[in-house]
Structure 1
């Protein structure tokens, strides 16, 4: 699956009380849940240090290879904002913002105070960089120039020559990772990241985990519940990923989600009046389709730098804007400048934001990590021709986004580390209630995925946000905020099927 804000990148008990309560010292390590041979990891006590603005930072050690716990160790970077009411503190609220490849440390530093006041009061808000990401044994494969070339390559090939060029870029990406990160690639998958979360739970001093995961963070959370169904008290999975889909089916469905979001944007543009792209939603979408076809033939220029704004970069910029409804006015401005003046500056800026590219041409490791996790989590098509068939299918059901999203994962065809473990439903039998939140017009994690995951989980409870944008909790909807906060504090979920508007 693609990142929380990255697609085509190169873009898972019957509650009896507030379990896992601990005093401010956080000493309640769940020794009974320690897997064999991992005692030293579960018993560690992080050395917290001030890291500005009331945050505290630490590193927690985990084994690189869980089958060899006495072998190489890696450090997991962790940050927390301590609970504001220590006398009523419940424990830690571990979070993951998505990806794979998103930095949970950056997320908490940026978003901790956007969580409800009730949660900030009762929990230490905790973020972590999963293995392979940012400051946790990062997978770094490609230079900025190499990633520029990868993203600019035509991801909607019109002929065999363009297809082969795209395949060559994917193969080069995979070769770069094999050369520079081969020792890490077999171990960065979601199953291992979920095991790291249980060590984090113990290191944080919690008998039971409390967790909020968004986008890919739902996939990670679902894998945690599957492996440790008795080790958590409350899990929120916001903007769910369906673990039962194949790698290419996941991308095809995601592309359809972006088409849904684009239509919502088009309807909003027409509804607000004076829409520069047409007088109906169909006309707006047709205008955008025509613009993309023209950009495929003649890329735009930008005042940001000398890069040409190709069709792929234009689609990426549009996609970035669909993640958050507040970006829709920016998208309107960007498309107006691009269509009327052939100025791709704003679209390119949005595309750069999508993949965490800095103005100096450097990137975070989000893209490398995203690919490394996705390629090892599920089986991949065996060759370029098979991958091309999936892209062709995607184009039929998602004409603007299908090829872009599907072809974005082409490095996985050439990935040096492969798995034969086919996708399957995750049920987490015997687990406490798990709250799954779905947004009806979510572009990156289609609403049906949340429905599917809630059905698969033996204790899944579905909460629906009838709205736009990617994920729901941090959008500020009072109904979602209250239902989520109440559940995380008490363990009592809303009624299954509750809808918020």
Structure 2
């Protein structure tokens, strides 16, 4: 289905659903399990030849307004962060990407999209920078929260940050979804206690959802 969109984008009104936009719709719904039903509906209509729902999901994620303008989160803040923290991308679009093969092997579905998605970084006005690990000193006790199956910000990142902040407490959630507040009464109660009374849960606390 994605290959067919690559060869012939699907007309949706006066626009087109391209492979890239369809992939964005799939990616957007992976953030939260509550969105999977919407993706299922959108894919079902897409198989039937109607790309309206897929395009709507992609537009919402991209912050596209009815007048065709876009917000600055995905195409601004996200891009700036990615381009500054990742290795330089080749400026020649036909140059072989040194990590392209490994990306494709790791993710046959998202790999090609992810590889080309970073091409804009080749012409980003600022060069990538190397950020060494931090040792945070003098900070008050800090609560960090990470989910085991977060598709956007991996649990390993939360552990890494926790290791760099000596007085931090890592609160873990076993479950799917990006971020954790609201996914579990256990998590929400712990975060509320910290934000309102600066009360931290015991180190090693794990919640389920």
TM-score, with length taken from structure 2: 0.86
- For residue 476 of structure 1, report the CA deviation from its aligned partner: 4.5
- For residue 373 of structure 1, report the CA deviation from its aligned partner: 4.5
Is the aligned partner of 1:413 residue 2:104? no
Aligned residue number for residue 4 of structure 2: 294
- For residue 432 of structure 1, report the CA deviation from its aligned partner: 1.9
Aligned residue number for residue 432 of structure 1: 140
Query: Which of these residues, 195, 198, 205, is aligned with residue 491 of structure 1?
Result: 198
Is the aligned partner of 1:481 residue 2:191? no
| Residues 468 and 382 of structure 1, relative CA distance in 2, 3 Å threshold | closer
Aligned residue number for residue 80 of structure 1: none
Deviations 1:355-403 (A, max 9, x none): 100122121233134334543x436415246772223321211222233
What's the secondary structure of 1:438's corresponding residue?
strand
Structure 2: runs of 5 or more not aligned: none
Within 2, Cα distance between the matches of 1:368 and 1:483?
33
Aligned residue number for residue 423 of structure 1: 131
TM-score, with length taken from structure 1: 0.38
Aligned residue number for residue 271 of structure 1: none
Within 1, Cα distance between the matches of 2:147 and 2:17?
31
- For residue 335 of structure 1, report the CA deviation from its aligned partner: 0.8
Query: Which of these residues, 55, 70, 77, is aligned with residue 348 of structure 1?
Result: 55
Query: Which of these residues, 349, 368, 379, is aligned with residue 76 of structure 2?
Result: 368
Aligned residue number for residue 18 of structure 2: 310
- For residue 347 of structure 1, report the CA deviation from its aligned partner: 0.6
Deviations 1:219-240 (A, max 9, x none): xxxxxxxxxxxxxxxxxxxxxx
**Structure 1 residues 35-434: aligned runs within 5 Å:** 291-302=1-12, 305-339=13-47, 341-366=48-73, 367-375=75-83, 377-378=84-85, 380-381=87-88, 383-384=90-91, 388-419=97-128, 421-434=129-142
What's the secondary structure of 2:58's corresponding residue?
helix
Within 2, Cα distance between the matches of 1:487 and 1:296?
48
Aligned residue number for residue 178 of structure 2: 470
Aligned residue number for residue 449 of structure 1: 157
Work out which structure has the larger RCO, using CA pairs closer than 8 Å and 6 or more positions apart in sequence: 1
Alignment check: 8 A CA contact 1:337 1:344 kept: yes
- For residue 293 of structure 1, report the CA deviation from its aligned partner: 2.6
- For residue 334 of structure 1, report the CA deviation from its aligned partner: 0.5
| Residues 409 and 317 of structure 1, relative CA distance in 2, 3 Å threshold | same
What's the secondary structure of 1:314's corresponding residue?
helix
Larger radius of gyration: 1
Deviations 1:416-463 (A, max 9, x none): 2225x4122223123222222111221111222222222232223211
What's the secondary structure of 1:488's corresponding residue?
helix
- For residue 495 of structure 1, report the CA deviation from its aligned partner: 1.7
Alignment check: 8 A CA contact 1:440 1:446 kept: yes
